[in-house]
Structure 1
């Protein structure tokens, strides 16, 4: 849109390089070209602004294939105004001299013209194409047909419109039909996936079998080696036992020989000791016999009184300890009587001996 400013009843227009401005005053073309800047009076000026840049027109429309299936076509047409003067004459590109806004909707008219023209050619080519073919080759076929149709449309050059490019973005069926069409492909993909899964499982099973066989072979080899180890250990144990038994036999023989030697030595020592003891006992017996004989000879030579005195002495030596002695009057009387008579007769002497013995006992 042009930039318009006001100054004391005058207007100043400043256009863009992509906008072609035409200024008529009293039916006479005064200014004509893109990117103009000039003063004018609003009451006498007739202005029009035609965009000359490339514009994108997106369109979406429905079509029906030869097997009566609805499809949606999404396309984009790039166009530009090649002859601004012709376009300004055929379409209303006039602008308000006070605001610079278009009085009409020229771009909408161009969009409707291009959309209907492209839709007409797309419907024509899809109406003779089945759905499966349209989904596979329909995009290229529609693009070529729409491009050729727009290039051959006589109204576009007469309006000053040039078609730069045509792009068909997508061609899609209805959602239910699209899902139905996807089902076989999905099934095939699923079958391929299942096949790959089965193959992977088969390979895994084969590998597991190989691993199990290797483990079994390893266990068998380990068992065989353990068997050889057990045999070797048994042989070693048996050899060790034999060597130990031989060593024990040698040790036992040596111990028996040593025991025999010790027994012989002990027997000889015992014999010598017994002989010595017997000799000593004989000598002691002889000495005792001699002493007893001498003792008897000595006692045979002494008198009876001396023997009685010795007997009392030996008896006193062997008696227990006497703490106190009680002398009765009868004993004391008899003792005094004996002392008074002396040793006059043998009876008195015997009594004195008896009293002496009693005294000795009490002593």
Structure 2
């Protein structure tokens, strides 16, 4: 029949058939015949769509960076977006009347760019290069609550930031700075290692010196103790010697007293004996000689009397004419002299 066509949509397309300003049919994956002259068809894809993006932005310190990522979204309220944008198909049922459906990704990306740019412009270069995860969290939070996306009936599925990169010259400068910092860290590590080695060596040396000092102190204490012991021994010896000398002195003093006493006694005895002899001699001097001889002869032995007689004979030999002495007389004297 002239002007009648058949339309069939896939399962990921929401279709709205309008006839004379009234919606006759709406839903996903519909198929129907329609009159090209009176019917209008709007086809809204409701499947997930990916929109990659690359933004060149300036940081707070006026450095250029490139933010690269991707946002994934879907049309959650196709009737809303059909009212806001023109999703009508041409009479062939295949192409759109306007470019609104093709520019939907640009609308979403512009919202993403606005959020990212606002954050990057208030952040320094160094901090911006570390903003990937922060930007992801920020985009999820703000895109879910964005009023313009809610008005279009768009729901955010996912967002990711794959890279935040500076310009080539800035990257080289940062690399050089980082390299210098790493070299400085390496030098610092070498310095710290050497310093640690020196400190350890000093600690070991101090420990050795402390040990040496302790040994010397112990040796000094031992030497002092030995000296004290030796002094105590010497004092003991000196005390013993002093006591011995005192004992000897006391003994000598006693001996001296004894000698003096003995001498005095001997002198007194000698004086007494001398006095006795003197008195005796005095008495002898006063006695006649004949009496003395008689007293002497009275106390003599026969042998002594014989000797005295012979001595008298010898003294008066000139007066004696003839003297006969028999052997029997001498024999008798000899027997008495050898008698035990």
* TM-score relative to the length of structure 2: 0.52
Check conservation: 1:10, 1:40, Cα contact below 8 A.
Answer: yes
Match of 1:105 in 2: 99
Match of 1:45 in 2: 39
Check conservation: 2:65, 2:166, Cα contact below 8 A.
Answer: yes
Match of 2:136 in 1: 143
Match of 2:239 in 1: none
Check conservation: 1:82, 1:161, Cα contact below 8 A.
Answer: yes
**Distance in 2 separating the partners of 1:85 and 1:156:** 14
Q: Match of 2:15, SS?
A: strand
Superposition map of 1:1-363 within 5 A: 8-136=2-130, 138-187=131-180
Check conservation: 1:46, 1:94, Cα contact below 8 A.
Answer: yes
Check conservation: 2:52, 2:71, Cα contact below 8 A.
Answer: yes
1:165 to partner: Cα distance? 1.1
**Distance in 2 separating the partners of 1:153 and 1:99:** 33
**Distance in 1 separating the partners of 2:84 and 2:3:** 31
**Which deviations, in whole Å up to 9, do the C-alpha atoms of 1:94-148 show, x marking residues without a partner?**
0012242111122333222211111111111112211111112x11122222222
Q: Match of 2:123, SS?
A: coil
**Distance in 2 separating the partners of 1:192 and 1:70:** 28
Match of 1:265 in 2: none
Q: Match of 2:95, SS?
A: coil
**Distance in 2 separating the partners of 1:17 and 1:158:** 24
Q: Match of 2:110, SS?
A: helix
**Distance in 2 separating the partners of 1:128 and 1:193:** 34
**Distance in 2 separating the partners of 1:38 and 1:167:** 40
**Which deviations, in whole Å up to 9, do the C-alpha atoms of 1:35-85 show, x marking residues without a partner?**
111111100111100000000001111211111111111121101000111
Check conservation: 1:73, 1:170, Cα contact below 8 A.
Answer: yes
User: In the comparison of the two structures, how many residue pairs are matched?
Assistant: 189
Superposition RMSD in Å: 2.3
Check conservation: 2:7, 2:93, Cα contact below 8 A.
Answer: no
**Distance in 1 separating the partners of 2:180 and 2:61:** 24
Which sections of structure 1, spanning at least 5 residues, go unmatched? 1-6, 196-363
Q: Match of 2:101, SS?
A: helix
**Distance in 1 separating the partners of 2:112 and 2:185:** 41
**Distance in 1 separating the partners of 2:26 and 2:173:** 59
Check conservation: 2:55, 2:68, Cα contact below 8 A.
Answer: yes
1:11 to partner: Cα distance? 0.3
Q: Match of 1:117, SS?
A: helix
